Chains A and B, each alone.
Chain A
């Protein structure tokens, strides 16, 4: 203010940026680009759609409800869980070979694993094998944090409500029931199994759990989940891992076993089967349903009609639109372009 402006060299910089003259690409979506583009995209989509559709159609799925809510099902006796160790058997037959590898899923409906409170009620530090969190579990685990001041491991609603129905599959051959080997490995994410979940570094494993108590719903301790295989026991039990990965929607299925071994590596051949169910998991309180699913998968995963149809629809829409545009342009635009 006191000084007069003395700086006479305040001429603005003459650079492309300051003068807003940066070289620029100015694309214009003209009909000449868009119409062929649409045709190409449309055709590509139709191609993918057909592929998806056919693939999805080839996937074989066998789905059985075993809730037993309606009384006609063999599992009706177990529905109310009066008997602690209720077992029921479902018989079914397969008309043609379900090509392997066959995946064995269990499914639940109206089960809100995506509830917020439910979802946060877990302690990932515990599950990572951090024994300091064994003594004082994450407070989010409440109401499954302590039982009379003894900490619960693994704590929280998610772990507590782990699915505990177990299944045995038999193939009926000439009146004999031959057990179908079920592979419980490889059903959980590799990273969950190898990194995210870890048993505490204590041998024997049971010592790590001194002074803790198992979740109230559980009949076994976590270190007894699979006593036959140390690599499938404790927190890295794959059934446990599968359960701990919360489903996105209230009607979901989770992978139970893979049928890959021995005679069944090519799939489940046609024939009669019986499924022995150890019915432990209550669903009557919230009106849920339980089911088992046998399915094979393709490169796109399980059976899903949606993708194929959607691709077909969008692809054909693109083609139709390009035709419409062609007509519109032929009528109105092209003459004036010249």
Chain B
């Protein structure tokens, strides 16, 4: 029985950096004593409360996950509060309140109704989303788990798990809370876990049970002390006994663990919040335009108020006898009157800022994003999934991307390793497809007569491959049989042809796909790894004999050492150390005379784009082993600086080895990687490859996918070029940067203003290569002034290069680069695409983050997830382009239609004594944006295809038409505003001249003011709808339906509204006004005339800019084409 109460004397204590924990004051246990604030004590199976009676069992939160925002009760107040925090909604609320309080020209209904509509729609949307979250929460919280209570397996709902419960988890289930692993059904007291939903890494991680625990959990009486929950996910994924909620158990039948963190205190929940909002460039444009319109609104109200008082100061105008003021009006203070007049004008003109635009934009984004998820071209049959949209707010940014940052491994390449060749003692062995036999070690360049002598080395090499790894053989359990040809790494399919029939069902599991490739490579040459059983590794050798090796130590791989080793004892008692790792980390540790012949091969393989590893070995004498063994054990048990101590021992052990050979593993390019990259470049995007891989490999990948071409001149800024000369690196850096800058920037012909594309045909292409070390020199140069200039130089060079390759990048450096480009001049839109945990930071940093589907459930950090790289092409070129075009047109159109809506009302003030008389009836004011003109633009903004999807994909250059927010530039905004003003003037004055004689019917009767307004409004509704019809290039039946339907609805509504004396209204202003209008021929004629006059310039522009190329359907740009 163990009772661990001390933090420091056993491995059972949770071991986390104390500093971070100390910063977190947790509320759960209210200080029993000082130490418990930082730590929590957990009684396994709740059995220890007898031990000290005075100790109150601390309260931990339950295992409920609450990701929902609202409950039924607080939904209304909370949601309303949140909505009115938005500046636009608040503005409309103020307008509404002004209308309620002050005597204003329009009834509060006119702005209250749209606001109510907006608020309701948003509330419904948010309510629906919250309901989905509730549902998801419920699914998680009600999930059935098995809890061991007094040794009995009791089914429980997940939400009822308490800290201290012993939870049983079966294979392929996810952990319901953070658990400490107590027992595993595996013999070696380990279990395998994927943390795909936490950090995107889908490889298997090994976790260990707490050592020295009794088999019978029922009688176990122990406590755990661990620190308070903290959210840091990337620092470490917990100590090796901690299983995190959200991770999935793999390749282990069953485990038991004790719950330590539950519910909202689990790492997953703590990491759930805090995804920063990304705002799109379109949104920024909208806000800028809004400001302009707000100024227009204010100046209109000011002008009217001023003119009103100027006008009233003339004798007889203020209070003619027929329009006496009430006593109350007379008594009001002059300035107060002015102020209320100003407010009234604001209210009268407030429709110029469209409430409904926000709704329409949101609906457009929300509904529009479905087209991405619905697109069957994004469906990948292998993983049975299509694209995923996490943020619909950024749809249009996909059409604006200037810089694409891509990860290499897993993104450009498949991360599906295949053993290509190896080299043993300088002889190259190449595997030639499936035709070669087990013994078919094809010698391609080795002298044949040395075969005998070589055989020993070959076998040694292959044994090394078979032994030096952490691969597990997948055990065939019942459910495995069904998926037996599925390799567990990334769910990638094993190439059937490679496997020999008898080994077909053999699956391997490893933390890195390279290892599997190597083990399989060895298998192809006759050495089969049979598995690890209680620290004994079994190998089937060429002669079909089983060799047994005792696995003594594994010196794990880490990215600093870039190598791993195993120490084994062979059947004959020989102690062997096998080591494999990157060339740079192996070569210094082996005898130098062996290096040269291998180096040649390694370098050649690297330039061909293969991932290379070197293999070395060393025989250990008993004494050496004893020394190493002692060192390793001691370091492993160390509680302080364990990492450093281990590293020291590792370095000490891995010396004086002899090099056997090297391997080359191919990481194949993704499907259509080259085509995709080429399309992106032709679309004017700059592609930067950011990878942690080494330069040669990355460079060859770049060549392979066409980012670098033969004629591309490479500018290299790496440690190698920096160390060329005798001088210091700093100087050399300065010199190189200057030189490259001269070549790429100064000597290059200036790129055409406005155009963002680099001319490919005419001039020299440049490619830039930089590595992590050099980058940090550029970014963190010693002197402040240098740093600025280096950074600028670097940026300028990069901007003039067609492709940039950054290799040997740390994850943080990737984000740094993205940030640097993002904040450079012109703030270009950036897009990051990656698949692994190391790409998350750069995905979060970029404007648009895209994640390949490999790290499947971790896609939540990305904005869009697509299954394959090749889908990027359609996503950007077609979807992005269309979304941008649609929403930009939507925004411009909205401002336009509201300007020409309100301008006549403004002009009318000059003819009605500035009395805030509305030109249109309240119903029209309210319905204009909600009903009459909203549906056509919504349909347009969802369905328009100015250029067909095929053409967009075909001709990537079309993408650059929209570059730099082209459709929302001030020039175009002015054009649309001018158009709106023109239309408003035409509407108003056209009818004004008609009304110089208001007798418009053949019976001599006259029309009044409501007829005036109705004629203007009719012209308005028809013109703005037909204007949209003119812009529509893609008429589906939906467009027809909503455009003609809206107009029909307007006519129908007007008849209906004016055809009945509505009992709830005080005034029947519009009674039969519309019908009477239609009985007047003059009214018909003026309506037709004004509509045509308004649209005439449009049609002219369209025709005069009519394309030679059928693709470039005219953008309505005001500059003359011919």
Residues of A near any B CB (own CB < 8 A): 1-5, 8-14, 18-20, 22-31, 34-35, 41, 45, 48, 52, 101, 103, 105, 111-125, 128, 138, 140, 142-144, 157, 160-161, 186-189, 191-192, 195-196, 242, 245-250, 252-255, 258, 282, 285-287, 295, 297-304, 306-307, 310-311, 314, 317-318, 321, 325, 328, 332-333, 336-337
User: Assuming the A-B contacts A20-B943, A250-B912, are A29 and B384 also in contact, with contact meaning beta carbons closer than 8 angstroms in the complex?
Assistant: no
B909 CB, nearest partner CB in chain A, Å = 10
Which residue of B173, B316, B1099 is within 8 Å of A287 (Cβ)? B316
What A residues does B915 contact at CB under 8 A? Answer: 112, 114-118
What A residues does B374 contact at CB under 8 A? Answer: 12-13, 18-19
B760 at the interface (CB under 8 A from A): no
The answer to whether B1061 and A128 have CB atoms under 8 Å apart is yes
B479 at the interface (CB under 8 A from A): no
Q: Taking CB as reference atom, which chain B residue is nearest A242?
A: B1006
Which residues from 343 to 394 on chain B have a C-beta closer than 8 Å to any C-beta of chain A?
370-371, 373-376, 378-379, 384-386
B1072 at the interface (CB under 8 A from A): yes
Q: How far is the CA of A307 from the CA of B1083 in the complex (A)?
A: 10
The answer to whether B1006 and A27 have CB atoms under 8 Å apart is no
User: Assuming the A-B contacts A22-B943, A112-B915, A115-B913, are A253 and B136 also in contact, with contact meaning beta carbons closer than 8 angstroms in the complex?
Assistant: no
Q: How far is the CA of A186 from the CA of B374 in the complex (A)?
A: 63
For B162-189 the 0/1 string (1 means CB < 8 A from A) is 0000000000111010000000000000
The answer to whether B384 and A248 have CB atoms under 8 Å apart is no
Q: Which of B321, B326, B996, B1008 has the most CB of A within 10 A?
A: B1008
A337 CB, nearest partner CB in chain B, Å = 8
What B residues does A124 contact at CB under 8 A? Answer: 1066-1068
Given known contacts A30-B1106, A282-B321, what 9 new A-B pairs fall within 8 Å (CB)? A1-B140, A2-B158, A105-B999, A116-B916, A143-B327, A286-B321, A287-B315, A310-B990, A328-B1104
B368 CB, nearest partner CB in chain A, Å = 10
Which residue of A138, A195, A252, A314 is within 8 Å of B1093 (Cβ)? A314
Which residue of A24, A138, A247, A287 is within 8 Å of B1035 (Cβ)? A24
The answer to whether A52 and B1085 have CB atoms under 8 Å apart is yes
Which residues from 1023 to 1054 on chain B have a C-beta closer than 8 Å to any C-beta of chain A?
1030, 1033-1039
Q: Taking CB as reference atom, which chain B residue is nearest A105?
A: B999
Which residues from 872 to 916 on chain B have a C-beta closer than 8 Å to any C-beta of chain A?
911-913, 915-916
The answer to whether A307 and B1086 have CB atoms under 8 Å apart is yes
The answer to whether B105 and A116 have CB atoms under 8 Å apart is yes
Q: Which of B92-100, B509-517, B778-786, B1074-1082 contacts A (4 or more CB under 8 A)?
A: B1074-1082
B139 at the interface (CB under 8 A from A): yes
The answer to whether B1089 and A314 have CB atoms under 8 Å apart is yes
What B residues does A8 contact at CB under 8 A? Answer: 384
The answer to whether B1006 and A253 have CB atoms under 8 Å apart is yes
The answer to whether A247 and B945 have CB atoms under 8 Å apart is no
> Can you spell out 16 A-B residue pairs with CB atoms less than 8 angstroms apart?
A12-B378, A19-B375, A29-B1103, A30-B1103, A31-B1106, A34-B1099, A114-B913, A116-B915, A116-B916, A116-B917, A121-B323, A140-B1066, A161-B323, A189-B1076, A303-B997, A311-B1089
The answer to whether B1034 and A26 have CB atoms under 8 Å apart is yes
User: Assuming the A-B contacts A28-B1113, A115-B913, are A12 and B322 also in contact, with contact meaning beta carbons closer than 8 angstroms in the complex?
Assistant: no
The 10 A-B pairs of least Cβ separation, nearest first, read A161-B322, A302-B999, A248-B1012, A18-B374, A103-B1004, A286-B316, A22-B1036, A301-B1000, A248-B1009, A116-B917
Which residue of A13, A112, A249, A306 is within 8 Å of B323 (Cβ)? A112
User: Assuming the A-B contacts A20-B945, A124-B1068, A248-B1011, are A304 and B996 also in contact, with contact meaning beta carbons closer than 8 angstroms in the complex?
Assistant: yes
User: Assuming the A-B contacts A29-B1106, A157-B322, A286-B317, are A299 and B386 also in contact, with contact meaning beta carbons closer than 8 angstroms in the complex?
Assistant: no
Q: How far is the CA of A28 from the CA of B1031 in the complex (A)?
A: 10
What A residues does B1061 contact at CB under 8 A? Answer: 128, 195-196
B175 CB, nearest partner CB in chain A, Å = 9
The answer to whether B1089 and A307 have CB atoms under 8 Å apart is yes
What A residues does B1106 contact at CB under 8 A? Answer: 28-31, 333
Q: How far is the CA of A31 from the CA of B1104 in the complex (A)?
A: 8
What B residues does A311 contact at CB under 8 A? Answer: 1085, 1089
User: Assuming the A-B contacts A12-B386, A317-B1096, are A248 and B246 also in contact, with contact meaning beta carbons closer than 8 angstroms in the complex?
Assistant: no
Which residues from 951 to 992 on chain B have a C-beta closer than 8 Å to any C-beta of chain A?
990, 992
What A residues does B317 contact at CB under 8 A? Answer: 286
User: Assuming the A-B contacts A2-B143, A10-B385, A124-B1068, are A297 and B999 also in contact, with contact meaning beta carbons closer than 8 angstroms in the complex?
Assistant: yes
B992 CB, nearest partner CB in chain A, Å = 7
The answer to whether B1100 and A114 have CB atoms under 8 Å apart is no
Q: Taking CB as reference atom, which chain A residue is nearest B141?
A: A2
The answer to whether B1009 and A11 have CB atoms under 8 Å apart is no
User: Assuming the A-B contacts A195-B1061, A304-B994, are A2 and B1072 also in contact, with contact meaning beta carbons closer than 8 angstroms in the complex?
Assistant: no
User: Assuming the A-B contacts A196-B1061, A328-B1104, are A307 and B911 also in contact, with contact meaning beta carbons closer than 8 angstroms in the complex?
Assistant: no
B861 at the interface (CB under 8 A from A): no
User: Assuming the A-B contacts A29-B1102, A248-B1007, A299-B1081, are A11 and B379 also in contact, with contact meaning beta carbons closer than 8 angstroms in the complex?
Assistant: yes
B741 CB, nearest partner CB in chain A, Å = 43
B320 at the interface (CB under 8 A from A): yes
A102 CB, nearest partner CB in chain B, Å = 9
Q: How far is the CA of A34 from the CA of B386 in the complex (A)?
A: 44
The answer to whether A298 and B1002 have CB atoms under 8 Å apart is yes
- Total A-B pairs, Cβ < 8 A: 288
B197 at the interface (CB under 8 A from A): yes
B59 at the interface (CB under 8 A from A): no
What B residues does A317 contact at CB under 8 A? Answer: 1096
User: Assuming the A-B contacts A4-B248, A157-B322, are A285 and B1103 also in contact, with contact meaning beta carbons closer than 8 angstroms in the complex?
Assistant: no
Q: Taking CB as reference atom, which chain B residue is nearest A311?
A: B1089
Q: Taking CB as reference atom, which chain A residue is nearest B143?
A: A2
Q: Taking CB as reference atom, which chain B residue is nearest A300?
A: B1082
Which residue of A1, A20, A248 is within 8 Å of B995 (Cβ)? A248
B324 at the interface (CB under 8 A from A): yes
The answer to whether A118 and B323 have CB atoms under 8 Å apart is yes
Q: How far is the CA of A286 from the CA of B139 in the complex (A)?
A: 77
A54 CB, nearest partner CB in chain B, Å = 14
What A residues does B1030 contact at CB under 8 A? Answer: 29
The answer to whether B1071 and A3 have CB atoms under 8 Å apart is no
Q: How far is the CA of A117 from the CA of B373 in the complex (A)?
A: 55
For B290-321 the 0/1 string (1 means CB < 8 A from A) is 00000000000000000000000001110011
User: Assuming the A-B contacts A255-B1004, A336-B1108, are A118 and B322 also in contact, with contact meaning beta carbons closer than 8 angstroms in the complex?
Assistant: yes
Which residue of B912, B1004, B1076 is within 8 Å of A191 (Cβ)? B1076
What A residues does B65 contact at CB under 8 A? Answer: 1
For B912-950 the 0/1 string (1 means CB < 8 A from A) is 110111100000000000000000000000010100010
B1005 at the interface (CB under 8 A from A): yes
User: Assuming the A-B contacts A25-B1035, A297-B999, A301-B1002, are A12 and B379 also in contact, with contact meaning beta carbons closer than 8 angstroms in the complex?
Assistant: yes
The answer to whether A325 and B1035 have CB atoms under 8 Å apart is no
Q: Taking CB as reference atom, which chain A residue is nearest B879?
A: A20
Q: How far is the CA of A10 from the CA of B387 in the complex (A)?
A: 11
User: Assuming the A-B contacts A12-B386, A253-B999, A300-B1082, are A307 and B994 also in contact, with contact meaning beta carbons closer than 8 angstroms in the complex?
Assistant: yes
What A residues does B375 contact at CB under 8 A? Answer: 12, 18-20
User: Assuming the A-B contacts A10-B385, A22-B1038, A189-B1072, are A2 and B323 also in contact, with contact meaning beta carbons closer than 8 angstroms in the complex?
Assistant: no
B1105 CB, nearest partner CB in chain A, Å = 10
User: Assuming the A-B contacts A12-B374, A119-B1009, are A285 and B1004 also in contact, with contact meaning beta carbons closer than 8 angstroms in the complex?
Assistant: no
A93 CB, nearest partner CB in chain B, Å = 23
Q: Taking CB as reference atom, which chain B residue is nearest A281?
A: B322
B982 CB, nearest partner CB in chain A, Å = 15
A325 CB, nearest partner CB in chain B, Å = 6
What A residues does B174 contact at CB under 8 A? Answer: 1-4
Q: How far is the CA of A45 from the CA of B1086 in the complex (A)?
A: 12
What B residues does A11 contact at CB under 8 A? Answer: 376, 379, 384, 386
The answer to whether A3 and B143 have CB atoms under 8 Å apart is yes
A295 CB, nearest partner CB in chain B, Å = 7
What A residues does B1034 contact at CB under 8 A? Answer: 24, 26
Q: Which of A121, A248, A314 has the most CB of B within 10 A?
A: A248
The answer to whether A138 and B1099 have CB atoms under 8 Å apart is no
